[in-house]
Structure 1
């Protein structure tokens, strides 16, 4: 009778996360994951064909377990992403500051469909415009996150919140073609549930 399996795919991914959190992305190897699990590399190779396959699945695992956000607030999704960059610098670097293969998606957002729908409904925007507006907000949030993850700047929670609100006001004015402060206030009020 073959020996019972002791190490499962999930165990390997959790150990890889722990390794990256503690030692950084350069430490990510089959041998170091095995060291973290206190086993040989055999159980890892029986689950993952090679390091590239493991890395791809690890990135998907991190997105699902650390970046998926069911918040009702648009701002809360951005705050969670920025908090991840600030608190999990090594994981952020693994997921977002890596060389991309030709044709690979630039910015993976597990909350994208839900977020775009919220913008469509609250701001009465066509889907294409809502998607474009969200993409611009992503770029802004991503640049803040890179600065935090690389220790270039360290924003306080209050500064992050203020920056997001101010940029949202600017981009909202553009996409709704706001002509007055009164009109801007109307759309801010319509979307206040997105900003809490």
Structure 2
């Protein structure tokens, strides 16, 4: 008799990634994971106390995937602009992962103040303040306007609300960046 395969957390997360990427997180459940892994649901619940716990762990796991995706896409040039373009392309090319990461309740933000106070966002604002020669508060407002604009385009692409020609979103992003920058540098 062949030994049973030991199902690890990593295997469960990889299966969750595959199902989410192909079919959306809404199709991830204990049965779909067990089917993909070729096991019963017992190993899943022996590694994760609940599907809610799995979702939180998987959100961080998928976030690391986005971080690697962004780091690769942002090589050379204006990193702020490239980040916006990367965000839009991620929504276009990885719509199910984008929806989980950036259009779900997992983040549980309560208004823009939570976004302003996020350490990564504060770091971006500090860099923008230095590179643009504007106050830190102006840089935070500029960054939030750019994020809201960029997220709007990305959300429309991820949800298939709109289809844009290659380069169209990037052109719009550049126009918005110039317009928002002009509001904060005059």
1:84 aligns with 2:90: yes
| Residue aligning to 2:32 | 32
CA distance in 1, matches of 2:180, 2:44: 47
Relative distance call for 1:97 and 1:119 in structure 2 (3 A) is same
Relative distance call for 1:11 and 1:126 in structure 2 (3 A) is farther
| Residue aligning to 2:130 | 121
| Residue aligning to 1:21 | 21
Relative distance call for 1:73 and 1:164 in structure 2 (3 A) is same
Q: Deviations over 1:6-27 (max 9, x none)?
A: 3222221111010112222321
| Residue aligning to 1:165 | 174
Give the structure with the higher percent helix. Answer: 2
Kindly state the Cα deviation for residue 157 of structure 1 after the two structures are TM-superposed: 3.3
After TM superposition, list the pairs within 5 Å mapping 1:32-181 onto structure 2: 32-67=32-67, 69-70=70-71, 71=74, 73-99=79-105, 103=109, 112-177=121-186
> Cα RMSD between the aligned structures?
2.7
CA distance in 2, matches of 1:176, 1:99: 35
Does the 8 A contact of 1:13 with 1:61 survive in 2?
yes
CA distance in 2, matches of 1:87, 1:127: 33
Deviates more, 1:53-62 or 1:93-102: 93-102
TM-score, structure 2 normalization: 0.81
- SS of the equivalent of 1:83 reads helix
Between the two proteins, the alignment pairs up a number of residues equal to 175
Relative distance call for 1:61 and 1:101 in structure 2 (3 A) is closer
| Residue aligning to 1:189 | none
Q: Which runs of 5+ in 2 are unaligned?
A: none
Q: Which runs of 5+ in 1 are unaligned?
A: 178-196
Does the 8 A contact of 2:56 with 2:106 survive in 1?
no
CA distance in 1, matches of 2:157, 2:149: 13
- SS of the equivalent of 2:62 reads helix
| Superposition misfits of 4+ residues, deviation over 4 angstroms | 100-111
Kindly state the Cα deviation for residue 91 of structure 1 after the two structures are TM-superposed: 1.4
